[in-house]
Structure 1
Amino acid sequence: MSIFKARVKEFEDALAGPQDVIDLKELRKLAFNGVPDVQSFRALSWKLLLGYLGPRRSSWTTTLAQKRALYKQFIEELVLPPGHSSNGSDADGGGDADKADSGGVGLQDHPLSEGPESAWNTFFNDNEFLLQIDKDVRRLCPDISFFQQPTDYPCEIVVHSKGEHGRRLHERVVPAVLSSANVERKGLGMTKINMITKRSVENYAAMEEGQEAHWEVVQRILFIYAKLNPGQGYVQGMNEIVGPIYYVMASDPDLSYRAHAEADCFFCFTALMSEIRDFFIKTLDDAEGGIKFMMARLSNMLKSKDLNIYELLKSQELHPQYYSFRWLTLLLSQEFPLPDVLRIWDSVFADEQRFDFLIKICCSMILIQREAILENDFASNVKLLQNYPPIDINVVITHAGSLA
């Protein structure tokens, strides 16, 4: 039996065996070495490793049904225009929009109302962060065509809008405003340099009525997350976190799972953000889970592994925030092609310490380029670290695994 077939058999036994309770310790061990890109192994493993699904298989059907119903409620209450909430007859997509509009809408909810309790006022104010979300998701993973393609499972209550304006989030965005919009990250101001510039800017087109491109689905996930987390809101770069998760869920060979990729992605993304949200909040930069603390851990590891490189970068005043801020905040999602990112995340999600291994990968990326770094000047090293050269990702991961 080949090594690959043996690994597939191991995952089959771990995920689809006769036992009701999944051995998470064994799954972590298997996933840490990479999840085979076949069947539903990666999508299911990530759901388990991120805590979206519990280890007891018999509970999955109930959990998924409840979570997916809850997500549909979020869409009805947070995405649809006022008058089309879950209380309206239009909520299931088959009702009469006019009837829904006529129910319970008083002067306070008139579209021109500026009252703080006005649903319409909130509806229009949402555009402040929707502008940035729209801008970011339209250029998500431009090196592949996936996000530009139509999903086979568009959100019915959104795409069949019968000509109504505002159900589809991108319709709310005014292009003239978009070009000058700038939403500040709630973190280290100066270190947001090159957060997005590595990727070329694409302007993905929206689909016609009745269809949705994958980037439109991602836009809705991020919008709902921002609405449900007003203290944090949307921060530039979150699109790079949700993108790979959605890709995995929406590529699941099991069509019964793929049909619910949006809802499942939302809850997996929310679970992951609960662990890394401190990276995106400025007031927590110095906290133990904050981004400054993470960058300091990386610097300390580099210092212990290779003092020469550490001292050179220090003498060149090439501070960690110039490169590792993006590496750590976005979990390396912008440094490598998507298939490599998925492989990295297999190990990161499987790591019980979670971000210990991420720091080892980042340290290995520097150590592997040792000779070039020692020969380079400041400008060349900035370019090298901000635009990491192509490499076999298994070389990086193997090196990282060797670091004590």
Structure 2
Amino acid sequence: MSTGNKTTNMAAFKARLKEFEELLNTEVIDLKKLRKLCFNGCPESGYSVRAVCWKLLLEYLPVEKSEWKNHLTKQRSLYKQFVDELIVKPGANAPEGNNTDVTMADHPLNPSPNSEWAAYFRDNEMLLQIDKDCRRLCPDLFFFQRATDYPCTEIVTADFRVETLRKRVEQTVLQSATVSSNRLGITGMVTRPRKSSHEYAVLPDGQEAHWEVLERILFLFSKLNPGLGYVQGMNEIVGPIYYTFATDPNEDCREHAEEDAFFCFTGLMSEIKDNFMKSLDDSHLYGIGNMMTQLTKMVESKDPALGHRMEEVDLKPQYYAFRWLTLLMSQEFPLPDVLRIWDSLFSDENRFSFLIHIACAMLILIRKELFESDFPCCMKLVQNYPYMTVDIQTVLKKAVEIMR
């Protein structure tokens, strides 16, 4: 790139960053203007732009800036209460604790479904899946394996003997995995006895890895939302949110990344929870079934020849778009690209309408390969999208063209 182009790009970047700073410094944030700015991407800078914007777009922060401090204090305190009531106190009275009531009214062998022990064991089954998913999140990115600078002190403090979620998993009968595929197309688990718990690297006592923070967030979410619980793939949704907050230049944002990510994730899940309900998979009116139907119709409308080709080779959206749409493209692109995509998704007033436009654009941009390939090659192409050759900005630009 020539010096002139670099200078021009830098000037444009500074001008764009100034627009964000001026808007975020107003007493009442204009959400319409914010959506317009964020739709084209939040600038990467030393100023905490994306984290603040996402909190506003996901309706975690109020638009009145004067209310931010009190609101954050209240919500963060509420989260600590959740941790205390659902993890710390139960952990202090775990099977290895000294305060276990051995009467039949509250005994591990109590057959009553209302027994606290019965609930404890059910939670362990759910926790096993959460643990597996969080440990393997973004394996190419070392961030989630690193120790957080802000662990949960109530849990990791040496003189506060609490059974952590990680220890609950270690004390439960663990399973190893062979390759399978679940409804999202994510590598799943076919269970058989594990040889050793040492297959997973863990940090010393007193430290917590970032993946353990995510494990706690998802465990609390599932406990507080029993109607939905934990569904495999939720780790792919909370991961980028937490990463954005935990790597923010602002220290307060990093320190409280866990609490803020929990509430932003909860708000986002309230919008997309239908996509995680298996009962709606085949619906053409609701949930992920409806979104896949919309995608099929959009491809047929925007590129009839491509639509016909996909029907000809029997390339159904269930084979690839299920994962694309349910996980908001989080498994199709590297994390930096995912963050850029989510800038647009969160700022779309009709979300997640733009997500379908992105999926349509992705197909149109590889139409040549789809016409030249047979079914197995087409499947491989859409299930392993060639992001190395199809730039994310090109995808988003094409999606905007389709939308217009």
TM-score, scaled to structure 2: 0.87
Q: For residue 252 of structure 2, what is the aligned residue in structure 1?
A: 256
Distance 1:83 1:151 in 2: 21
Distance 1:338 1:324 in 2: 19
1:113 Cα offset (Å): 3.7
1:54 Cα offset (Å): 1.1
* Conservation of the 8 A alpha-carbon contact between 2:218 and 2:230: yes
Two-structure CA RMSD over aligned residues (Å): 2.5
Structure 2 unaligned regions, length at least 5: 1-9, 189-198
1:395 Cα offset (Å): 0.8
SS at match of 1:179: strand
Instruction: Write out aligned runs for 1:99-248 (5 A).
Output: 101=99, 108-160=105-157, 162=159, 164=161, 166-174=163-171, 176-179=173-176, 192=183, 194-196=185-187, 205-248=201-244
Distance 2:377 2:57 in 1: 39
Count of residue pairs brought into register by the alignment: 378
* Conservation of the 8 A alpha-carbon contact between 1:127 and 1:172: yes
* Conservation of the 8 A alpha-carbon contact between 1:134 and 1:170: no
Listed one character per residue, the Cα deviations across residues 234-263 of structure 1 (whole Å, up to 9, x for unaligned) are: 111111001000100111111112111101
Question: What one-letter code is carried by the residue in structure 1 that aligns with 2:62?
Answer: G
Q: Name which of 340, 344, 356 aligns with 1:343.
A: 340
> Which region of structure 1 is more displaced relative to structure 2, 392-401 or 159-168?
159-168
| Consecutive aligned runs of 4 or more in structure 1 exceeding 6 Å deviation | none
Question: What one-letter code is carried by the residue in structure 1 that aligns with 2:119?
Answer: T
Question: Cα distance 1:340–1:131, how it changes in 2: closer, same or farther (>3 A)?
Answer: same
* Conservation of the 8 A alpha-carbon contact between 2:240 and 2:339: yes
1:62 Cα offset (Å): 1.2
Q: For residue 19 of structure 2, what is the aligned residue in structure 1?
A: 10
- Asked if 1:50 corresponds to 2:50, the answer is no
- Asked if 1:325 corresponds to 2:333, the answer is no
Distance 2:379 2:315 in 1: 7
1:44 Cα offset (Å): 0.5
* Conservation of the 8 A alpha-carbon contact between 2:280 and 2:287: yes
Q: For residue 70 of structure 1, what is the aligned residue in structure 2?
A: 78
1:51 Cα offset (Å): 0.6
1:163 Cα offset (Å): 7.9
1:117 Cα offset (Å): 3.5
1:354 Cα offset (Å): 1.0
Distance 2:367 2:113 in 1: 57
Q: Name which of 331, 334, 340 aligns with 2:331.
A: 334
Question: Cα distance 1:242–1:223, how it changes in 2: closer, same or farther (>3 A)?
Answer: same
Listed one character per residue, the Cα deviations across residues 4-31 of structure 1 (whole Å, up to 9, x for unaligned) are: 0011101101112xx3110000000000
SS at match of 2:382: helix
1:370 Cα offset (Å): 1.2
SS at match of 1:80: helix
Question: What one-letter code is carried by the residue in structure 2 that aligns with 1:355?
Answer: F
1:209 Cα offset (Å): 1.2
TM-score, scaled to structure 1: 0.87
SS at match of 2:90: coil
- Asked if 1:27 corresponds to 2:34, the answer is yes
Q: For residue 399 of structure 1, what is the aligned residue in structure 2?
A: 398
1:84 Cα offset (Å): 4.3
1:143 Cα offset (Å): 1.3
Question: What one-letter code is carried by the residue in structure 2 that aligns with 1:326?
Answer: R
1:119 Cα offset (Å): 2.5
Question: What one-letter code is carried by the residue in structure 2 that aligns with 1:52?
Answer: Y
Listed one character per residue, the Cα deviations across residues 51-84 of structure 1 (whole Å, up to 9, x for unaligned) are: 1111011111111111111111111111125374
Listed one character per residue, the Cα deviations across residues 123-147 of structure 1 (whole Å, up to 9, x for unaligned) are: 2221111111111111100111000
Distance 2:107 2:226 in 1: 24
* Conservation of the 8 A alpha-carbon contact between 2:92 and 2:163: no
Q: For residue 359 of structure 2, what is the aligned residue in structure 1?
A: 362
Distance 1:138 1:11 in 2: 35
Identity of aligned residues (%): 53
1:392 Cα offset (Å): 1.5
Question: Cα distance 1:312–1:170, how it changes in 2: closer, same or farther (>3 A)?
Answer: farther
1:171 Cα offset (Å): 3.6
Question: Cα distance 1:118–1:160, how it changes in 2: closer, same or farther (>3 A)?
Answer: farther
Question: Cα distance 1:163–1:9, how it changes in 2: closer, same or farther (>3 A)?
Answer: closer
Distance 1:326 1:155 in 2: 33
Distance 2:255 2:286 in 1: 35
SS at match of 1:192: coil
